[in-house]
Structure 1
Amino acid sequence: MQGRSEKEIQTSDKAVVRNSEVTAKDHVEVLYFHGKQRCATCIAIENNTLAVMKENLSEQVKKGEVVFKVIDISKKENEKIAEKYEVTWSSLFVVGYKNGQETAENMTQFAFGNARKSPEVFKEGLVKTINDMLK
């Protein structure tokens, strides 16, 4: 994340999601992976996820309970995280950290099926998954 603090994530629409100084011990990370080339659906996944962060989860983001990361898998510095989640193309993961345990939900198929043509379904499903992991 050249030129940016770890507290900010720049997205393609120039909006910034700020995370609190300290990420809560138990928290949820929303990881959106993409490559250099992105289709309209890929962009819709990012934009709708950002909308969820702002419209539905802004308090949780401020508290560090929810973190949204946009990860370009074409960059060398992101190879390890892409390998960890076995990502080779655009993907969306929701990862919960609770009591030292990590639980990852691969939402890629759901995201591609809904983000562009049924954005409300996508947003509702994403919010539900995040909230379930926060419990």
Structure 2
Amino acid sequence: MKTSNTQMKKICLLTIMTLMCFSLSGFSQKKVITKKSVNKTVVEVLYFHGKQRCPTCIAIGDNSIDVVNKDFAKQVKAGQVKFKEIDISTPKGEEIADKYSVSWSSLYLTQWKNGKEKRYDMTRFGFENARSNTQAFRTGLKNKIIQFLK
């Protein structure tokens, strides 16, 4: 059975269209995966500081990263808990600080759940405890992270 040039073009076009349909169906599956990951709760510990830091500011940063890395190592690995150090004296840091209305050293916890952000300002608590009452600071930060993970 001989096929004409026109029939051959139709077969090629039909094959290409079929392949495109299969490849496009893969895109919709990727969107479903992305939507599922949006529903995951993520807690960020945001430590804002300037170029110059006092001993208390340093204690807030050091204790915060220590709590995150030691007490939440499993959640850090899973991407559920993140520590972000933000130098507000840099252009990128200044941009993030503006979003949080931060103008000096600060400590924030953010909870991302179902695509929505919930913020908790721990700055005052940090300055009151990070250097002078380290255990209370570490316990308070840990408890708030646990609360935000729920």
| Counterpart residue number, 1:77 | 92
Q: Could you state the TM-score of these two structures normalised by the residue count of structure 2?
A: 0.73
Question: Cα distance 1:23–1:122, how it changes in 2: closer, same or farther (>3 A)?
Answer: farther
The structure with the greater share of residues assigned to helix is 2
1:55 aligns with 2:70: yes
Runs of 5+ unmatched residues, structure 1: 1-21
Aligned CA distance change for structure 1 residues 40 and 59 (closer, same or farther; 3 Å): same
8 Å contact kept, 1:45–1:115 = yes
After superposition, the C-alpha distances for 1:79-135 in whole angstroms (9 at most, x for unaligned) are 221011100000000000111211000000000000001111000000111110100
Q: Which residue type is aligned with residue 122 of structure 1?
A: F
Q: What is the number of equivalent residue pairs in this alignment?
A: 114
Report percent identity of matched pairs: 51
Structure-2 separation of matches of 1:74 and 1:97: 26
Check the 8 A contact 2:49/2:106 in 1, yes or no: yes
RMSD: 1.6
Q: TM-score, normalised by structure 1?
A: 0.80
Q: Tell me if structure 2 keeps the 8 A contact 1:24–1:63.
A: no
Matched-pair contact (CA < 8 Å) for 2:39–2:113: no
Q: How has the CA–CA distance of structure 1 residues 33 and 24 changed in structure 2, closer, same or farther, with 3 Å as cutoff?
A: farther
**What pairs up with 1:1-135 in 2 under 5 angstroms?**
25-135=40-150
Q: Which has the higher strand share?
A: 1
